[in-house]
Amino acid sequence: MCRVTLVVQEPLAQPTTTQQVDATPTLAARLVPPMPTGGWRGWAGPIAVTVIAAILRLVDLGRPHAVAFDETYYMKDGLSLLQFGYERHTVEGADKIILDTGGSPGGLTSIFTSEPSFVVHPPVGKWVIASGEQIFGVTPFGWRIAVAILGILSVLAVARIVRRLTRSNLIGTLAGLFLAIDGLAIVMSRTALLDNSLMFFVVLAFGALLLDRDRTRARLAALGETTSAMGPALWWRPWRIVAGVCLGLACGVKWSGLYFIVAFGLLTVLWDVGSRRTIGVRMPFRAMIVRDAIPAFLSIVAVAVVVYIATWSGWFLTDGGWDRNWADSSQSWIPAPLRSLWHYHAEAWNFHTNLDADHAYEANVWGWPFQARPTSFFYESPTNACDADKCSQEVLALGNPLIWWAAVAALIHQAWRWVGRRDWRSGAVLCGFLAGWFPWVFFENRTIFSFYSIVFLPFMVMALAMSLGVVLGPSTAPGNRRIVGSVAVGSFVVLAIAASWFFYPIWTGQPIPYEAWNLRMWFPSWV
């Protein structure tokens, strides 16, 4: 019998497990390529880059000892949720009172009035901030720590996701490293805003769907090939439910999570089409519609809706929230609290779609991937804070330029691999990027900021790591090819780390001489 060496899935950096098999690969090999060597090897790299991320995010987390940018809204909203279950207005000078007093949440009730506040973002992200305030006190460290923890865990999640996506320990570790050292990821993890929490839940949802893909394809492999029109029904898919929960929480942070529900929902059922085609189903698209689409809708969309509504429990269980009793005077088969919540959302939607006030740091969406106009969260010129006559202290939400610019090229490369090579991994990464970036094209006239791009940054570093894996080449490549690839990838990694070291002071609010700060302002739009 003729026997050949078959690489089951095209490697991006290191080969997947090679097997001595017949010329025709087994169904299991085609559906579920083997993972790389497991055990500690699969965790060592991701844990190492997670430790790096923790150091970069937690050291001097309380610096600056100030309310940075929109922290003024969310740290007080989180505190209000702890005290009352809904957001209230605060007295004039509340920020100064908090900075001067700090302490436990219970000691700051006097900063709130009795009037409810009309807030335009759901509560989950503010509950995240509130959890840190409850445990560590209402201080800059306290309202930032929970967001920082989610940022750290995102690095671990991305590294493990890319390991599964590519079947490579190395590529997974590279992706995690790029997220760990990127400036925007660092700044958003060290600032009590909402977008980092949104990114975290989106990444978890993507990972859950990837696990569902592998699990489902393994079940199909066990059932064997078929010549039926639609193939077996696969109803119980718990990882899809997990994804639905995560996407519901994402929407509970910001409504832009809705775009990921649509994108990921389409992605997972298209994966089902490919899976059914592989086992020999004659009508895979019809099978997807009949057997997969409805369960996917229930597992992802319906679950997300239930979870989202549940995130408003504080508003439901109290009477003081904004327009909480709006619908009480009218009759309908729909419960009054739900109608009041719908009214609330209609007013919030009107606010979002008509927000067009000028802002010094508003940024055109087309420039986001290039970091054309980063947002300054904090800037001061402290005296006697550095070894110079004039000092600067800034927190600038600027991504590592080398990582971002290379990632743009990598996205183009992955688009080519998706279209030209039909690489589903490239399509998956592009789906995540486009879900986070493209919808904002339709809101160019709205006041928007480049730090919103944190939600699609994980997919950019995924694309970058995967493209660098192609540059590196498989271990089966000729020696010179491997050496050249290793030198190229290694050089880029070193340069990216050096760039992060260079920009780190303006990501973390370190006082530096004005000349040193100005040296880091490469473009006028960064000022």
- pLDDT digit string (tens) for 277-298? 988 888 888 888 888 889 999 9
Question: Is pLDDT at 171 greater than 60 in this prediction?
Answer: yes
Q: How confident is the model at residue 222 (pLDDT cuts 50, 70, 90)?
A: confident
The pLDDT of 400-420, averaged and rounded, is 97
- pLDDT at residue 8, as a whole number: 39
The pLDDT of 249-263, averaged and rounded, is 97
Buried b (16+ CB within 10 A) or exposed e, 331-368: eeeeebbeebbeebeeebeeeeeeeeeeeebebebeeb
DSSP 399-447: --HHHHHHHHHHHHHHHHHHHHH--HHHHHHHHHHHHHHGGGGGGTTS-
Output the pTM of the full model. 0.93
Q: How confident is the model at residue 126 (pLDDT cuts 50, 70, 90)?
A: very high
Q: Look-up: residue for tokens 């690095």? A: 155
Taking a C-beta distance cutoff of 8 angstroms, is the pair 87, 116 a contact? yes
Maximum separation of any 2 CA atoms in the chain, in Å: 84
For residue 90, the SS3 value is strand
- pLDDT digit string (tens) for 384-407? 888 898 999 999 999 999 999 999
Question: Would you tell me how many other CB atoms lie within 10 Å of the CB of residue 254?
Answer: 20
Contacts of 435 (CB under 8 A, 6+ apart): 259, 260, 262, 263, 264, 456
Question: Is pLDDT at 39 greater than 80 in this prediction?
Answer: no
**Structure token pair of residue 205:** 């949802």
The pLDDT of 454-459, averaged and rounded, is 98
Q: Look-up: residue for tokens 């649509």? A: 262
Question: Is pLDDT at 235 greater than 70 in this prediction?
Answer: yes
Residue 393 sits at φ, ψ, to 5 deg, of -135, 115
Nearest to 151 by CA among 121, 105, 117, 184: 184
Contacts of 48 (CB under 8 A, 6+ apart): 173
The pLDDT of 258-283, averaged and rounded, is 93
- pLDDT at residue 503, as a whole number: 98
Radius of gyration in angstroms for the set of CA atoms belonging to the chain, rounded to a whole number: 25
DSSP 252-315: HH-TTHHHHHHHHHHHHHHHHHHHHHHTT-S-HHHHIIIIIIHHHIIIIIIHHHHHHHHTTHHH
Residue at 34: amino acid letter? P
CA distance 4 to 298: 44
Question: Is pLDDT at 193 greater than 70 in this prediction?
Answer: yes
Question: Is pLDDT at 343 greater than 80 in this prediction?
Answer: yes
Give the bridge partners for 380, in sequence order: 393
